[in-house]
Amino acid sequence: MVTVAGGIEVQVRIGSRSRDVELFPRQDDALGERLAEMVRSTLLRGVPPPAVVVLRPDRVDLVDLRTIIEARLQVHRFIAATAGQDEVEAVALLAVVDLREAGRPVGHTGMVFVEWPDNRWWHGYFLLSQAFQPLDDMPMVLRRAVDGLPRPEGFGGWFSRARFERLKLQLREISPPPDQLVM
């Protein structure tokens, strides 16, 4: 159970595991590429729900965003609140999103956006077929803050917003715990 703005409580599914730095490295590119591979391999089994990965020194949480979206809550603000928790080293959004040209959807992408507390970011995406399968002949498109590129519109700024608005996710475990998400 999570408490969001205005004291609203929403039940969210969270999978948690200890952090193995081989699986979830601390180096920017290695982490982004690992998360992109998670999205790619999950797509082979079906379209995954949008999720946030919260990385701490000793733990990784995978937060299913479906409930937040279905409740029509502010997803950006929710992600900022996850970034506002103690000891968070990075937050990543994993999702399937529409690729748009001139405001119209022209296809789908598997996408990863990672942000760190110093506002560094890493954004990678790859094209999907109409059946939401990764196109093997298409390389991943990569954009990073360290290359001097502007941050993609609508993504990130989560740590800044958490600090500015003093957002901090409040979690309360319910009994029995919901099914764990697979990572």
Number of independent structural domains in the chain: 1
Low-confidence ranges of the chain (pLDDT < 70): 1-8, 172-183
- 160: Cβ contacts below 8 Å, ≥ 6 apart: 119
CA distance 47 to 130: 12
CA distance 66 to 178: 14
Kindly state the tokens that stand for 1.
């159970």
- pLDDT attached to residue 66: 94
Please state the separation of Cα 108 from the chain's center in Å: 17
Task: Evaluate if pTM is beyond 0.85.
Answer: yes
From the list 1, 11, 22, 183, the residue with the least C-alpha distance to 94 is 183
Domain, as residue range, for 32: 2-171
- pLDDT attached to residue 109: 93
Q: Looking at the domain assignment, is residue 73 inside a domain?
A: yes
Kindly state the tokens that stand for 135.
């196109």
Kindly state the tokens that stand for 155.
């993504």
Q: Looking at the domain assignment, is residue 181 inside a domain?
A: no
Q: Looking at the domain assignment, is residue 180 inside a domain?
A: no
Q: Looking at the domain assignment, is residue 183 inside a domain?
A: no
Q: Looking at the domain assignment, is residue 177 inside a domain?
A: no
Q: Looking at the domain assignment, is residue 67 inside a domain?
A: yes
Q: Looking at the domain assignment, is residue 155 inside a domain?
A: yes
- 158: Cβ contacts below 8 Å, ≥ 6 apart: 76, 79, 80, 82, 83, 91, 115
- pLDDT attached to residue 182: 47
Q: Looking at the domain assignment, is residue 74 inside a domain?
A: yes
DSSP for the chain?
Answer: -EEEGGGEEE---EEEEE--TTTS-SSHHHHHHHHHHHHHHHHTTSPPPPEEEEE-SSEEEEEE-HHHHHTT--HHHHHHHHHTSTT--EEEEEEEEEEEETTEEEEEEEEEEEE-TTS-EEEEEEEE-TTS-B-TTSPPEEEEGGGTPPPPTTS--HHHHHHHHT---EE---SSPPPPPP-
Strand partners, 108: 98, 128
